[in-house]
Each structure stands twice: as structure tokens, then as C-alpha cells.
Amino acid sequence: MKRTLNLHIAPDSFLPYYQQIVEQVRALVKSGALTEGEVFSSEGEIAKALGISKMPVRQAFLKLRSEGLLIIEKGRRPVVGSSRVPWNFQELRGFSEEMRRRGLVPSSRVLSLKRISADAEVSQALHLHNDETVYCLQRLRYVDAEPVALVTSFLPVALFPDLDQRELEGVSLYQLFETVYRRKLNWAEEEIGATTANDEQARMLGTAPGGALLFVRETTYDLQRTAIEYSRSLLRADRYKATVVSVRKR
């Protein structure tokens, strides 16, 4: 059942209206006054109650959605989230595809791209000979302009010989694999764990040193059962949670 929210706007505040709404909803979730799964007010209801236009309320909803504090699906009323965006590791989707599916705005920044000799871990994951050359691509991934993941990908140079000559800023690797290199994706093997952020990782991800991170190792295969990418991802645990559905075999 939807309850009446005790939100207010301070016209003389230096904070824009949408940010005032966001901070109040954050506080309500943190204090337990709003609980996960609870039905939330619509944009129109909040705008009417506060005596403002829908635009700042819409901005607030987008921000709250990007933080996992609101779950908004077409044709349904908003509900309160857990503040962490669920990531279903049983569905093979690229980062950009997954975020757009949730109505969020993904982007990325290339931190480095270089050719290196594959070490034992990378060689084993990609089924390569020792010291075979791979690209090491490091990217910082954003959702609604906020850093959320640090991803290091290893890709065989033999499969993608001109990758270092292509524009990769803001490009979906999965789309590049399928449309440019004709490598149709089939499945991925993932290993999910937990770690903490060191000083450099915390600085890049906008979190505190020692903050909790999800650590994901993933090897992606194409339809020919060829391993085409091995990646190591660090995701902010305050923004993401792993979801896996297990089915009992009969």
C-alpha cells in the first residue's frame, strides 16, 4: 500500500529541487522509513504535493533509479529498491545493454589499451599458448555519469588484429564483437567474489578506501566455442548485487 510521503522543498536552498527530493528519499530509505518493495508515489503525485513542475521530480526519479533506490517499470507504479541494482549473471548482456534495459544512461572511459604477453591466468582463461599476445583494455564504466565499475578486459590479438586502431570510447565491446568481427556471443563463465577497494580503486570509483566491491572474473565464448574475452571487473557493492536463479534438476 502506498503511503503519503513527508517531502518538502526549500525554495531558498542552494540545492536544486530534484537534489532536495533525492536526498530526502535517500534518508527515508536509510532510516527504514521506506522499505524495499514498498509502493512509491508517482511523479505527478509528488509534483502536486510539493507545488512544483514535473521536471525536477522526473530528474529526481532518474537519479534515484540509477542508485537502485527506485524500481520503475513501464505500466507499473514505482516501488522502493534496496539501493543496489540487481545484476542477473544468468543473462549474457553487455554493460551498456543491461543499463539501457533498466532505463539508465551508460557510458565509459578508456583508461588504457596496450598489447601484452598473456600471463598464466589469462592464457588459461582464453585457452592460449603461454606468452601469446593479447590486448589489455582497462575501462571505467559509468551510470548516469557516476563511476560504478572498473573493468580490465583481455582479448586475443589473433582474433581482433586491429582493435587498437578502433575508437573504443563509449563503445559496447559486445556490439563490436558481433557487428564488426562477426563473433556471435554464446555463453560466459563467471566467478563472483568480494574484495575491498585500495586507494587507487576507491579514487576512480568514487568510494571509500576499504569499501566493499564485487569482484567478477568472466570468460566469454562465441558460437564456435572460442574464448574471445577474459575480464576482471570491480563493481561498487553499494550499487550492485549479484542475482542468480538456481533450478533443481529432475
Where are the chain's structural domains? 17-80, 85-243
Q: Which of 105, 115, 122, 157 is nearest to 232 (CA)?
A: 122
Q: Which amino acid is at 224?
A: Q
Q: Yes or no: is domain 85-243 CATH 3.40.1410.10?
A: yes
Supply the pLDDT for residue 1: 46
**Which position has the grid cell 530526502?**
24
Q: Is the dihedral of CA 138, 144, 147, 149 positive or negative?
A: negative
pLDDT tens digits, one per residue of 147-204: 888 999 999 999 999 999 998 887 888 889 989 999 998 888 888 888 999 999 999 9
The whole-model pTM stands at 0.66
**Which position has the grid cell 516501488?**
79
Greater confidence, 230 or 99?
Answer: 230
Domain boundaries 17-80, CATH class: mainly alpha
pLDDT, average across residues 38-66:
88
pLDDT, average across residues 74-81:
79
Sort 227 into a burial class: Cβ within 10 Å, 0-12 / 13-18 / 19+.
Answer: buried
Q: What average pLDDT is seen over the chain?
A: 83
Q: Do domains 17-80 and 85-243 have the same CATH topology?
A: no
